[in-house]
Structure 1
Amino acid sequence: MLKSKPKNIALIAHDLKKRSLATWVFNNQTKLKRHNILATATTGGIIQKHCPQLRIRVTKSGPLGGDQQIGAMIADDGIDLLIFFTDPLSPHPHDVDVKALSRLAVVYDVPMACSGATADLIAASGYLD
């Protein structure tokens, strides 16, 4: 089976979900290491500590424009997969940015996982092979 070209994967997590995302990335690092990983600043730093062998390009922190930077990349066809572990039970001062990012992923038909279960399904689907 031929491997597809490397994908551009954006990783974002709300504060209470950052550890869950870092654990998911750790458990899937074999599949992820051949792809281009992009993350918002704080999320990227936490993931880098758990998976130092992964090269992660970081944007600004989400509340400081990182979500919008990733949204712009989606609009420019620069993101192939968005993994955004959201926390629907906590308030987020930049909620409008989060909604805009989710809307762009839907508008541009970018696969998006908002939880570990959905991210597991994408990983198991062969999309990352």
Structure 2
Amino acid sequence: MTKKHIALVAHDNKKKELIEWSKSHRDSMLACEVFATGTTGRLLAEAIGMPVHRLQSGPLGGDQQIGALIAEGRIDALIFFWDPLAPLPHDPDIKALLRLAVVWNIPMACNRATADLLFSSPIFLDGYTRGVPDFTDYNNRPL
């Protein structure tokens, strides 16, 4: 079984929920390599007692760093608990991250229910290989 690379992101009002979710899925998380933005990464490492690759805080470029990892094929799933009720000054970065996850066919959960379903899937951690889009024609189009 190949270790899955999971990116975890949570807005301030959703950090507690993501930490609680991570604790409830700790056994599955141990089978993953975890990447997270700034404070979320620190809180996760403390709460679940496992290594977390900490990137910049979202507003300082962490969302974009995760987007770059997705584009490079280094992330297998995105768990992003975002707050739809809070004003988000870095909204363009968030939209760009969500867009990249869709472009590259990355399984993505934006709430606890979907994250639970993703992590409880019998094929997710053992045996799922996502289809990677072929952008050859897009990259070779005339300018």
SS of residue paired to 2:83? coil
Matched with 2:58 is 62
Q: After TM superposition, give the deviation of residue 46 of structure 1 in Å.
A: 1.2
Matched with 1:37 is 34
SS of residue paired to 1:82? strand
- Are 1:6 and 2:3 matched, yes or no? yes
TM-score normalised by L of structure 2: 0.85
RMSD of aligned Cα (Å): 0.8
Q: Give the distance between the partners of 2:119 and 2:71, measured in 1 at CA.
A: 23
Q: Give the distance between the partners of 1:49 and 1:118, measured in 2 at CA.
A: 24
Confirm or deny: 8 A CA contact 1:32 1:128 kept in the other structure. Answer: no
Tell me the matched-pair count.
125
Confirm or deny: 8 A CA contact 1:12 1:85 kept in the other structure. Answer: yes
SS of residue paired to 2:35? strand
Select the residue among 17, 21, 40 that pairs with 1:20: 17
TM-score normalised by L of structure 1: 0.94
Q: Give the distance between the partners of 1:119 and 1:90, measured in 2 at CA.
A: 21
Matched with 1:85 is 81
SS of residue paired to 1:77? coil
Unaligned 5+ runs, structure 2: 127-143
Q: After TM superposition, give the deviation of residue 56 of structure 1 in Å.
A: 0.4
Larger Rg computed on CA atoms: 2
Select the residue among 112, 117, 128 that pairs with 1:116: 112
Task: Render the CA deviation track for 1:11-62: whole Å, top value 9, x for unaligned.
Answer: 000110001000000000101112100000110111122112x110100000
Q: After TM superposition, give the deviation of residue 128 of structure 1 in Å.
A: 2.4
Structure 1 moving runs of 4+ over 4 Å: none
Overall identity of the aligned pairs, in %: 51
Matched with 2:130 is none
Q: Give the distance between the partners of 1:103 and 1:56, measured in 2 at CA.
A: 24
